[in-house]
Amino acid sequence: MKLLLTLSFIIASILTMAQTDCKPYLPGDVGKTWEITSYSAKDKVTGRVTHEILSVSETDSSTTYEVKSVFYDKKDEQTYESTYEAECVNGIFHLDMTVMMDGNAMAAYEDMDAEVDATEFELPPTDASAVGPLEDGTLNISVSTNGMNVMNMTVEVTDRKVEGLEEITTDAGTFNCLKLSQNVSTKMVFKIEASSIEWYSEGVGMVRSESYNSKGKLTGYSVLTKLD
């Protein structure tokens, strides 16, 4: 009996350590808010997104964050609102692929029925000594009205790689970031191949992202502009 209790204590300690060792790539407390502003390649504002932590729930091996996103267009008019989840599971942080949704594009279908099927993708800790290939991510969106399909979209993120650590400065401050590169394929009527580079800071989230077309030309970028 004593041995059984000791083993149970050890297992519980390992699970708790895995949970607490996970460093989320977002502000961890309920009510925390932040803002991402998007720009064209010519530095013109194309929109912004505000995020807020709605809830945090914990188990012995995981912590789940529910996040609300509100999208605004270039005229700063609200266009769309959605929620997504992020998780720390056994020491690894995962983001829901719904973060790849373009809220301004989805605004046209706001009064229709939308089915969203999203996988998760992981973000390794910045102090990881060795990081291999990262998991791909897939987002499928199907929109219908009165039983008739009007739009299907698939976003696939592949060839995700850790490029290193960099310090990034924005209007919200200066942050030590994990730099990632990836390929992004978007298919609606036809397929668009692109790539992106993203910078994430632990306890903050995405600090900067840059999008490039298939020829490697910058098409736009987003930066963290507020953190409360």
Of residues 213 and 2, the one with the higher pLDDT is 213
pLDDT at 121: 85
Q: What is the pLDDT of residue 104?
A: 67
Higher pLDDT, 137 or 10: 137
- Looking at residue 131, what is its pLDDT? 67
Does the structure show a pLDDT above 60 at 49?
A: yes
Rounded to an integer, the average pLDDT of 163-174 is 95
Q: Tokens 């390992």 correspond to what residue?
A: 14
Q: Is the pTM of this model over 0.75?
A: yes
Confidence check: pLDDT of 21 > 50: yes
Residue 3's pLDDT is what? 36
**pLDDT, tens digit (0-9, with 9 covering 90-100), for 93-149:** 998 887 877 766 676 667 778 788 888 888 988 876 556 778 899 888 888 888 888
Domains of the chain: 2-227 (2.40.360.20)
Q: How far is residue 91 from each of residues 21, 30, 132, 180, measured CA to CA in Å? A: 6, 20, 16, 19
Q: How many CB atoms lie within 10 A of CB 156?
A: 19
Sorting pLDDT into bands at 50, 70 and 90, what band is 215? very high
* Closest by CA position to 219, among listed 195, 189, 203, 201: 195
pLDDT of residue 129: 53
d(C-alpha 65, C-alpha 139), whole Å = 19
